Structure 1
């Protein structure tokens, strides 16, 4: 069995040395890099070959890659690197790595074409000026063979270790047994569907109720399928920290007694040990000599079956390397990777880039996937604010200040042309966009000449401008450009409406993707918005719970529509007090906004001062959120007031007497405003279901998620009161869970 490794991956393993240096430098974008390569190769003469596929073996290794170019007439092989600014600013350790890659390609070419020697050219192309700096050398084939052998010998021990690990892992997973005595109701159904999706290489949308053990029920079948389907990595992606912790716990349970390697990827700001320092060796001690100490840290990391945040920190500090970037390195050598959606779906997603470069076979599990539409829209949305521009101008160096002045004048023209508070522009404002790109180039040139930290206000605008420009390049009917005025300030936004065009490549690259949640109905809404393949399977998993466990009642004589809210407050207060007196205990009461919540809580406290109540605040920190949840104790009594769709509407687990009921005083429909009305119009044009896709489906998802907090285990019993007459409408009822037994509360008025 051969271990396949890319030339770049081999050299990064064996030839990287020195400091970790992540000071922001104006490096070319991926698109600029591709364009730069094309420019250089187009300058070459006839007979020049671009993207030359090469491969060769050494013991158990099969090394392969594509050399940037080869000129047979000169017997010259080239490695092309794009950059911005001053050539002298390219770090020596970068050039060392580039030469290593070129020499490996040189060896592979000599071996493939039986050459005695080859000319080597390391070509540095300046994106800004179009100039080439070429470093040349001539090497004998036997010299290159020796260098190649040296790289391989330093990697082969690791490769043999990895081959042994993969064999042991697959053997253990083939014999894997479900970790519990039996499946819960619905859990086997989910597991079977996930296994079949991986066996057939398809995507799956799985609506599975809370309480069946979705995490284990989805992870187990993927691991079981991994040996036969030759799956390299399982990615478990979750929107929030509790979901990631459940995945780590499930992986630890499933992998007990096996060599399964599990990694948690944590946001950089949470993992950074020295947030006051910059990410380079002159500032941070954990960046200094990072690559020199990485091999020992990498080997030590493998002694931990689960590399969660704490374990990465322990290993990193023991070897004086950055724990966050150690985690990024260990993504290459882990079997199950747990992290946020952005690691796979974002424009510059790390795991997607690694999978593409290393040709990994990946199975992706997306937890709480009802969040994916809104999260994906935010990934491909960019906004610029005039206030940020003013702050950037005040802090800019002279050349950038002049360019930002042109942006300000173009913005003023836009202000004069569009006087309405909110307006969708018929096209991108080209004069402003041109000025914006010129300003970004000016700041880039400044950074290239004077590397160093930017003023925070200037840096924020610069990053916003770069993001905006990238999305402008791909602007199409999937997005809109809107202009908002608020007094002196205004904002320009490229707002994504349908993320499908951006996500299709992610689903195509994965061997299989399973998206699961308790609220994925109707399936076509998610399939359309996310761009799932046409052969995506759909399953609505049976609930383990019965209608006897959850009394669902509709207060159909109350309207919570905006114009009726003042009149609804007193009836809602009496309904809640009546239910509390009938069965005292812990309840959650959900409202559509903080204003509505605060009004309802104030009246409730006035009329029923003997019933304990506590409120979700508008900007609660992590400790305050934990304190809110801590009030729900077994045997406790009172009502927590919360916003539907907020921090307490999903992702919290309050089994047994910790929560015995919920009041949901709204359909959860998003606010009717100019932005949402534009979404409705665009979605109507795209799918013929603008109102449903913008308002109804997202709203009902929040309702079902909130109601799902009440019954969490087979021993739980509770009540959910749906407060609004629209819950009696057939089109709303059919979106609610099938197992609910819904009745009316005739005395709710």
Structure 2
């Protein structure tokens, strides 16, 4: 082997010991927390000499194998591999059992070599979480037998390790000579690239606000790739909020890979897509007896994996072609290749949510990872969603009518707790046709949470014994219950509990995360360097506080490449869009929009705070100016209609599109040139004044001392700036933004507008 290669025991055995079908039929499984608690429980039952989490390593040729054995009893010379499970062990496949034996044998070989043991007892300890019962499977093995097994596994892996080490050498050598793919940098692009490189070189986080059009995607990927060999980074993750962001990243990587005129850059790029978008047989169950791409998956995986890494470029279509050529599932081939790709492009949930694939792989394999987060201004709300959960009373009631007897009792107890919570919250009188009832609960309803835990346990036990009864509805209730209970275990000042009642039997209990920092800090610490970038990341302290960024996080605001004369910004101080003034504002809003349109006909977007406000303004505009083409976003607009809405903005066309601020057309769309020449913004984008937001304000005020700003002002202005950013997309664009509310002129508000905007003499009519 031309270079050293390091592999974890689990990764080694995953590679060498799996065979047969892919089988993702629902199997009740312990959570990660339950697994850790199970390991602790087993260790507590052993003697005082018992060694838990024993680090071991060994070497075969130039392959180093490392890991932590779950437990070793030196008195009885017994090595244990602990596996937690729910329900009957009979449901465990032979394939899974073989993997477990392979792991404990490799650990046994490492331990015997380290301690000079002639023989050892190997034990698989299966701990049933609900009952605490241990099932022990034991076999004695000699050192010679274990060393032979270890060598066999290493030899199976050796060709792959050789290939991986050679690839790493070639990749790093090429990246050391990586050149920027264009003759010059755009204004601001070099500064951003330099800061990203410094962040990667010093192992820090970076918040970078950079304007649209400077090429942020290339300006972040290029320096992170350049730092990869110098900082010994194992993987780079480029994470996006929406699908178009993935496309931009892949386009930038295509440019970088092709920039070497002598030969293409030896870089493996993988696009991760959602399971429902990658599935070839959505009507089939995910196991070998149902899906042809699951049958024999692990037998065909080696050839598919080899073909994939040889190809290198694995966007969604390329990955699908490789998978189907080898008759394996595209989605699970992608999950496998996440272990072997250099750059992974995917959604932010792959690093930040509670079951994040890339974060889990980084932890298990001790990767040094560089993480790039595009459109990072959305991460606060996305993370809040990741660490929130709901329970739906309607689902409970539907299942109660058809539930088998082992589940019916716990469901009945949960139903009674629901009613007790509704009554205690004063929402009993909410009628079927009346407005929703809403209440913040001062404390977590412990009895209801206990009932939810019992329901989860009952469903888990039932499905463990009756896997053929795993209906979608039953599984969804179980997943809701487990997610709710996991978050309930961590309930604290970062979250609150609320109850919304829409009518009889239609209540939703929510655990709402308010401060994602308490969950995300560990995710930032797990990466070597994280760069969060967007056109809207001001003020920096808002993101530092709410995301839990390290105190060493650097801040960079890249000067805009746009000149003030390109964008005429006006504020209508004579209009108030406050809720109490909405009706009175319609007439002057319509007049202002018509006046600007007549001044310069073309395509405009008009943004409003709600559909009700939009519809009122649209009706009046049509009545007063029937000659001006208008079209509108609608509630629940399907994708085809959204595409048709955007298609109206054709070059040389005219008309006004009415849209909701913060909706599908307020960010992430690109209408350059005369496809869009102006925007009307009839709102400050403030979240509604209600009980929830006032509770959020109080919580953020108590933690950070900035409750009003962090709840209302800053999130609202982020939406405003994002919407206004649709107008100027290139150095050649010119346009106008009309801010229609007197509050935009207030110093505290205008300070949150882009610094290159000039309000000055153009601040009012």
Partner of 1:346: 353
SS in 1 for 2:663: coil
> Distance between the aligned counterparts of 2:99 and 2:239, measured in 1?
33
> Distance between the aligned counterparts of 2:168 and 2:469, measured in 1?
44
> Distance between the aligned counterparts of 2:257 and 2:163, measured in 1?
19
Q: CA deviation at 1:60?
A: 1.7
Partner of 1:184: 186
Partner of 1:499: 516
SS in 1 for 2:399: helix
SS in 2 for 1:545: coil
Aligned match for 1:278, one of 277, 281, 285 = 285
The structure-2 alpha-carbon separation of the partners of 1:205 and 1:513, relative to structure 1 and needing over 3 Å to count, comes to same
Partner of 2:417: 410
> Distance between the aligned counterparts of 1:30 and 1:445, measured in 2?
18
Aligned match for 1:479, one of 495, 498, 507 = 495
Q: CA deviation at 1:747?
A: 7.4
The superposition leaves residues 425-481 of structure 1 with CA deviations (integer Å, 9 ceiling, x where unpaired) of 222111111111111111111011011353333332221111110000000111111
The answer to whether the Cα contact below 8 Å between 1:395 and 1:457 also exists between their aligned partners in 2 is: no
Partner of 1:161: 163
Partner of 1:86: 88
> Distance between the aligned counterparts of 2:58 and 2:161, measured in 1?
15
> Distance between the aligned counterparts of 1:738 and 1:146, measured in 2?
68
Partner of 1:306: 313
> Distance between the aligned counterparts of 2:645 and 2:247, measured in 1?
20
SS in 2 for 1:333: coil
The superposition leaves residues 81-117 of structure 1 with CA deviations (integer Å, 9 ceiling, x where unpaired) of 1111111111110000011111111111111112222
The structure-2 alpha-carbon separation of the partners of 1:379 and 1:746, relative to structure 1 and needing over 3 Å to count, comes to closer
> Distance between the aligned counterparts of 2:307 and 2:78, measured in 1?
42
The answer to whether the Cα contact below 8 Å between 1:554 and 1:744 also exists between their aligned partners in 2 is: no
2:423 corresponds to 1:378: no
The answer to whether the Cα contact below 8 Å between 2:26 and 2:470 also exists between their aligned partners in 1 is: no
Partner of 1:252: 254
Q: CA deviation at 1:71?
A: 1.6
2:138 corresponds to 1:121: no
The answer to whether the Cα contact below 8 Å between 2:604 and 2:680 also exists between their aligned partners in 1 is: yes
SS in 2 for 1:639: strand
The structure-2 alpha-carbon separation of the partners of 1:747 and 1:50, relative to structure 1 and needing over 3 Å to count, comes to closer
2:463 corresponds to 1:447: yes
SS in 1 for 2:443: coil
SS in 2 for 1:69: strand
The answer to whether the Cα contact below 8 Å between 1:552 and 1:743 also exists between their aligned partners in 2 is: no
2:700 corresponds to 1:683: yes
Partner of 2:432: none
Instruction: Provide the aligned length of Structure 1 versus Structure 2.
Output: 748
2:269 corresponds to 1:262: yes
The answer to whether the Cα contact below 8 Å between 1:589 and 1:663 also exists between their aligned partners in 2 is: yes
Q: CA deviation at 1:636?
A: 1.0
The answer to whether the Cα contact below 8 Å between 1:553 and 1:743 also exists between their aligned partners in 2 is: no
> Distance between the aligned counterparts of 1:395 and 1:468, measured in 2?
23
Partner of 1:589: 606
> Distance between the aligned counterparts of 2:32 and 2:710, measured in 1?
34
Partner of 1:52: 54
> Distance between the aligned counterparts of 2:692 and 2:474, measured in 1?
28
The answer to whether the Cα contact below 8 Å between 1:556 and 1:744 also exists between their aligned partners in 2 is: no
> Distance between the aligned counterparts of 2:732 and 2:82, measured in 1?
64
> Distance between the aligned counterparts of 2:764 and 2:110, measured in 1?
82
Aligned ranges 1:327-346 → 2 under 5 Å: 327-346=334-353
The answer to whether the Cα contact below 8 Å between 1:584 and 1:637 also exists between their aligned partners in 2 is: yes
The structure-2 alpha-carbon separation of the partners of 1:744 and 1:461, relative to structure 1 and needing over 3 Å to count, comes to farther
Partner of 2:722: 705
The answer to whether the Cα contact below 8 Å between 2:679 and 2:724 also exists between their aligned partners in 1 is: yes
Partner of 2:237: 235
The superposition leaves residues 560-597 of structure 1 with CA deviations (integer Å, 9 ceiling, x where unpaired) of 11111111112111211221121111111111111111
2:536 corresponds to 1:519: yes
> Distance between the aligned counterparts of 2:690 and 2:310, measured in 1?
54
List gaps (5 residues or longer) in structure 1. Answer: none
Q: CA deviation at 1:744?
A: 6.1
> Distance between the aligned counterparts of 2:426 and 2:245, measured in 1?
45
> Distance between the aligned counterparts of 1:416 and 1:663, measured in 2?
46
> Distance between the aligned counterparts of 1:706 and 1:194, measured in 2?
26
Aligned match for 2:482, one of 466, 469, 472 = 466
SS in 1 for 2:546: helix
2:641 corresponds to 1:639: no
Aligned match for 1:423, one of 439, 448, 453 = 439
Partner of 1:3: 5
The answer to whether the Cα contact below 8 Å between 1:591 and 1:643 also exists between their aligned partners in 2 is: yes
> Distance between the aligned counterparts of 1:276 and 1:409, measured in 2?
37
Partner of 2:431: none
Q: CA deviation at 1:690?
A: 0.8
Partner of 1:174: 176
The structure-2 alpha-carbon separation of the partners of 1:453 and 1:742, relative to structure 1 and needing over 3 Å to count, comes to farther
> Distance between the aligned counterparts of 2:764 and 2:31, measured in 1?
63
Partner of 1:534: 551
List gaps (5 residues or longer) in structure 2. Answer: 259-263, 428-436
Aligned ranges 1:199-218 → 2 under 5 Å: 199-218=201-220
> Distance between the aligned counterparts of 1:724 and 1:459, measured in 2?
49
2:571 corresponds to 1:564: no
Aligned match for 2:404, one of 397, 409, 433 = 397
The answer to whether the Cα contact below 8 Å between 1:667 and 1:700 also exists between their aligned partners in 2 is: yes
Q: CA deviation at 1:745?
A: 6.3
Comparing 282-291 with 37-46, greater Cα deviation is found at 37-46
> Distance between the aligned counterparts of 1:584 and 1:418, measured in 2?
54
TM value normalised by structure 1 = 0.98
2:362 corresponds to 1:355: yes
Partner of 2:261: none
The structure-2 alpha-carbon separation of the partners of 1:744 and 1:623, relative to structure 1 and needing over 3 Å to count, comes to farther
The superposition leaves residues 381-418 of structure 1 with CA deviations (integer Å, 9 ceiling, x where unpaired) of 11112222211212321111111000011111112211
Comparing 74-83 with 398-407, greater Cα deviation is found at 74-83
After TM superposition, what 4+ stretches of structure 1 lie above 4 angstroms from structure 2?
Answer: 743-748
The superposition leaves residues 30-76 of structure 1 with CA deviations (integer Å, 9 ceiling, x where unpaired) of 11111111111222223222111111111121001111111222221
Partner of 2:452: 436
SS in 1 for 2:338: helix
